[in-house]
Structure 1
């Protein structure tokens, strides 16, 4: 089995099905943490591992300001957010891998851009995630 390094080559964000809201600069998905509990049975003690999302948040940075990203700051209605990313292997054979992260949640922190002359505008927001699916080449 050969190992070929991979790099992210592009991404897009969809909020409630509306795409092309800007260039995805960075995406920090929720961290998958596994809790270990100790249980007792008739044959003795054993450990059981339970998956959980910790922390229950994800952070996105987008380089555009528009009505869709501003509307996402409303906490009245939960949002469905899709982050589609492409990953390319570097080497003799180019192989593209698609990653799709689907999250349901509400924006808990929204950072509007600072005013700086001749600097690219970046808008970031952190989402309180209540559902999360991560797919690599349509396999979750």
Structure 2
């Protein structure tokens, strides 16, 4: 398999199904940070990585302010945010790749724009993510759903052995 460098060439964001083409400035997907515990061995200590993830957070920065974009600040109803990005590989043959990140959760931090003369308006928010799907060319590579105890990477259930021991 040959790997080639890729660059982001475009993106779009949908909040509860309403598209906002052209205003997505940046997107930080959730960091997959596993719980760890410190363990001891005869010659020292090491960290044991557990199969459970720490709470997931995503950050989205937009270049517009309106009622639709401020709606996620309400914590009464969880929001679904869908980010679609395009990447183009750099090399002899160019190939376009689509990445889709779908997140469900509640906004925990909202940053309204700071006033600076002749500077682009930026509104950003951080979400506490309860469900997360990361697809590359419509193939789900990561599926996370804390409410239904699902965590899959490349279609492999990371909790299968744990779930088998519980039932």
TM score, norm. by length of structure 1: 0.84
1:31 maps to 2:31: yes
Distance 1:85 1:31 in 2: 18
1:49 CA displacement: 5.3
Distance 2:57 2:34 in 1: 16
Q: Provide the residue aligned with 2:116 in structure 1.
A: 116
Distance 1:22 1:92 in 2: 29
Matches within 5 A, 1:87-106: 87-106=87-106
Distance 2:108 2:125 in 1: 8
Q: Provide the residue aligned with 1:43 in structure 2.
A: none
Structure 1 or 2: more helix by fraction? 2
Q: Which one has more relative contact order, counting CA pairs under 8 Å at least 6 apart?
A: 1
| Secondary structure of 1:125's aligned partner | strand
Q: Provide the residue aligned with 1:2 in structure 2.
A: 2
Larger CA deviation: 5-14 vs 16-25: 16-25
The structure-2 alpha-carbon separation of the partners of 1:87 and 1:107, relative to structure 1 and needing over 3 Å to count, comes to: same
The structure-2 alpha-carbon separation of the partners of 1:123 and 1:48, relative to structure 1 and needing over 3 Å to count, comes to: closer
Give deviations 1:77-119, integer Å, cap 9, x for gaps.
Answer: 1000101011110122110110000100011100000111100
The structure-2 alpha-carbon separation of the partners of 1:22 and 1:109, relative to structure 1 and needing over 3 Å to count, comes to: farther
Matches within 5 A, 1:75-90: 75-90=75-90
Q: Is the contact made by 1:21 and 1:69 (CA closer than 8 Å) also made in structure 2?
A: no
Q: Provide the residue aligned with 1:125 in structure 2.
A: 125
Q: Provide the residue aligned with 1:58 in structure 2.
A: 58
The structure-2 alpha-carbon separation of the partners of 1:58 and 1:92, relative to structure 1 and needing over 3 Å to count, comes to: same
Q: Provide the residue aligned with 1:137 in structure 2.
A: 137
1:25 CA displacement: 1.1
